[in-house]
Chains A and B, each alone.
Chain A
Amino acid sequence: QVTLKESGPGILQPSQTLSLTCTFSGFSLSTYGMGVGWIRQPSGKGLEWLANIWWDDDKYYNPSLKNRLTISKDTSNNQAFLKITNVDTADTATYYCARIESGSYYFDYWGQGVMVTVSS
């Protein structure tokens, strides 16, 4: 059974760095073809893809966030991470992590999401 769960700080101030953790089970990021992506959704708005990381440590980022994103993984502990630097109020959203496989490339399993508020 595949499960994912996001965790984060809840609230942070503008200019700080947002650190998110995705803890998963039912698959491994050391297995060929497996990947994890991060997607966010401001309240009442649509979904925005942020980044993907693959079993071979290949990484892809949304260029709209320029160089603010860093995705990484800890295969031993079944975790994936996302850091967003220099946050502002526009980064207030629910952040999701989701599983992806290289044979299919769509997000098949999603976490429950974690709400992050950026406020001074």
Chain B
Amino acid sequence: DIQMTQSPSSMSASLGDTVTINCLASQDIGNYLSWYQQKPGKSPKLMIYGATNLEDGVPSRFSGSRSGSDYSLTINSLGYDDEGIYHCHQYYEYPLTFGSGTKLEIK
């Protein structure tokens, strides 16, 4: 199985900050990587697909990047609405796997 090692597990940042969340894949997954935002009591919302593609309607403050097997989600100009848990997900091969999640708190 492909392991997705996500870091950090939690973080706290201030309004207007820029933050980066990382996922390291245990083997090559190409660009078959998506990012989801999850608010308390809600289902995950697709933010980024294909490692770097912004889903329709997602603010351009969000961006995804890749360096080898390292994938990153960067959020610029943090706002209160960005608080939640972020999950990475590889869909390169079965079994599909997710990272363990990053809880982002806005101070």
Q: Which of A17-25, A73-81, A85-93, A109-117 contacts B (4 or more CB under 8 A)?
A: A109-117
Chain B residues with Cβ under 8 A from A46's Cβ?
87, 98-101
B49 within 8 A of A: yes
Among B49, B50, B55, B95, the most chain A Cβ lie within 10 Å of the Cβ of B95
Q: How far apart are B78's CB and chain A's nearest CB, in angstroms?
A: 23
Q: Which of A8-16, A26-34, A59-67 contacts B (4 or more CB under 8 A)?
A: A59-67
A57 within 8 A of B: no
Annotate B69-107 by CB proximity to A: 1 below 8 A, 0 otherwise: 000000000000000000101010011111111000000
Q: Range of interface residues on chain A?
A: 20 to 34
* Chain B residues packing against A (C-beta within 8 Å): 32, 34, 42-46, 49-50, 55, 87, 89, 91, 94-101
The 9 A-B pairs at the shortest CB distance, nearest first, are namely A49-B96, A110-B43, A47-B98, A106-B34, A105-B91, A46-B100, A62-B95, A106-B49, A46-B101
What are 15 A-B contacts defined by CB distance under 8 Å? A46-B100, A47-B87, A47-B101, A49-B96, A60-B94, A62-B95, A62-B96, A63-B95, A64-B95, A96-B44, A107-B46, A108-B49, A108-B55, A110-B43, A110-B45
